Amino acid sequence: MNAHSSINQTVAVIGAGISGLTCAQRLQDFGFDVTIFEKSRGKGGRMSTRRSAEGLYFDHGAQYFTVRDQTFQQHVEEWSLDGIVSLWDAEIGTLSRGQFEPKDEETLRYVGVPGMNELGRHLARDLDIHLNTLVAPPQRIDGCWQLSDEQGLPLDEFDYVVTSAPAAQSAELLIETPGLQSIAENVVMTGCWAVMLAFSDSLGLSFDGAFVEDSPLSWISKDNSKPGREQEPETWVLHASTEWSESHLENQPQDVLPKLLQAFWQATGVTSCTPLFQTAHRWRYALPTEPLPDRFLFDADQKMGACGDWCGGPRVEGAFLSGYSLANEILTSVQQVSS
């Protein structure tokens, strides 16, 4: 789409999760000069894959994604053809005190191949991304946005700024657009504890994933049942429920791990054994309790916007559509000014 390269506008996108990467990629396709700043050392946000020192891989964030929207469907079909994502033909159901009940449904579940982080890598493939960069609240000076890092070192100036960070972090960055800031401040996001396990022998469970009832856990899945991950030993990912995670949010991983491992044995009915590998990870901002009805926030006069899975829906599809829709809104605003 280089035919659109006549657009002479610079954009800073803060956050390299799916919404930020999608927004950045679409704007760059239409000729915007885009720079991404990400505070962590990786891309993809919660659509991530953890690699242990032992060479084990775990999708410890988003477990899979589904498709409802036609625009998203078109992109998923392209990614499938390119081998970036694949259908997960999994036995999924509900689990309560050792009793598994298969789900009677036709839901199509997709995963990244070979890991969930592959989609983030794909979206980031030709973008200018600065990792390990924590951005201070942008300052509006002489009609431009001035960006600096947490030490006050200047990063650059931009025509537009987009924050795709979680709601609370985005609110801090929206200080010069108080209308947007107040909206972001009112979005509550809850945490989630994730546990990663590996076993030298199969646990002998007949399913690949289960929504757990009457337990500190809300979800468990056999990670190596996903396409491209048929590895030995057997690997499992556990997600604690929102209520349990919130009540143990400030605990240390070493305190959380044995509790959730015990919940795993109780939920599955499997005789406890010592894992080959075990670790826990806290997602501080995992799910919005009530996502905003709108897909994004945008102030056309100040040229500031926000997107994320806290806008429009807390799913991978929701994050994608949030970034995609904000990019379209920015494009429209530029075209209106130039016409």
For the residues of 52-69, what is the DSSP string, one character each?
-TTS-EE--S---B---S
Give the pLDDT of residue 54: 86
Selection from 320, 298, 311 nearest residue 189 by Cα: 311
DSSP class of residue 254 equals H
- State the pTM of this model: 0.95
- Mention every residue, 6+ apart, whose C-beta is less than 8 A from residue 106: none
Tokens of 80: 């499938």
For 288-326, write each residue's pLDDT tens digit. 999 999 999 999 999 999 999 999 888 999 999 999 999
For 246-274, write each residue's pLDDT tens digit. 999 999 999 999 999 999 999 999 999 99
Give the pLDDT of residue 2: 41
What percentage of the chain has pLDDT greater than the value 90? 89
Enumerate domains of the chain plus CATH numbers: 1-45+118-187+292-339 (3.50.50.60), 64-115+188-289 (3.90.660.10)
Q: How far apart are CA 264 and CA 215, in angstroms?
A: 9
Confidence check: pLDDT of 237 > 70? yes
Is pLDDT larger for residue 106 or for residue 33? 33
Q: Where are the alpha helices (DSSP H) in 18-86?
A: 18-29, 70-81
Mean pLDDT across the chain, nearest whole number? 94
Spell out the long-range contacts of 51-56 with Cβ–Cβ below 8 A and sequence spacing 24 or more: 52/196, 52/277, 52/279, 54/198, 54/277, 56/196, 56/198, 56/231, 56/233, 56/235, 56/277
For 113-127, write each residue's pLDDT tens digit. 999 999 999 999 999
Give the pLDDT of residue 313: 82
Give the pLDDT of residue 187: 96
Give the pLDDT of residue 6: 60
Q: How far apart are CA 133 and CA 318, in angstroms?
A: 25
Confidence check: pLDDT of 144 > 80? yes
Give the pLDDT of residue 226: 95
Q: In which band, very low, low, confident or very high, does the pLDDT at 19 lie, cut at 50, 70 and 90?
A: very high
Q: In which band, very low, low, confident or very high, does the pLDDT at 98 lie, cut at 50, 70 and 90?
A: confident
Is pLDDT larger for residue 161 or for residue 336? 161
